[in-house]
Amino acid sequence: MSLKGFHILFITLAFLCAGGFWAWSIWDAEAALQQGAVATGNLSGALALVLLVYGLWFVIKKSRTIRV
């Protein structure tokens, strides 16, 4: 696996983790409130959106040179 392929895999996994935490903090808001994770969950949602935009930008920019 090339470095570019690993980068895409890493960004995808980071997006899934951040998005999953954000989804948990929304769907189980009571538990998130008890754990004090509401602000962290919201920050995680913003990070997931940034990772999504960055990942799409990277793939589009490098699409001609990526050989996975």
Q: Does 4 have pLDDT greater than 90?
A: no
SS3 of 8-48: the string is HHHHHHHHHHHHHHHHHHHHCHHHHHHHCCHHHHHHHHHHH
CA distance 39 to 19: 14
Q: What is the pLDDT of residues 6-55, one digit of tens each?
A: 999 999 999 999 999 999 999 998 988 898 889 999 999 999 999 999 99
Q: What's the DSSP call for residue 1? A: -
Confidence at residue 24, expressed as pLDDT on a 0 to 100 scale: 94
pTM of the complete model: 0.83
> Cα torsion for 14, 34, 38, 41, to the nearest 10°?
10
pLDDT bin (cut points 50, 70, 90) of residue 67 is low
Is the distance from CB of 3 to CB of 40 less than 8 angstroms?
no
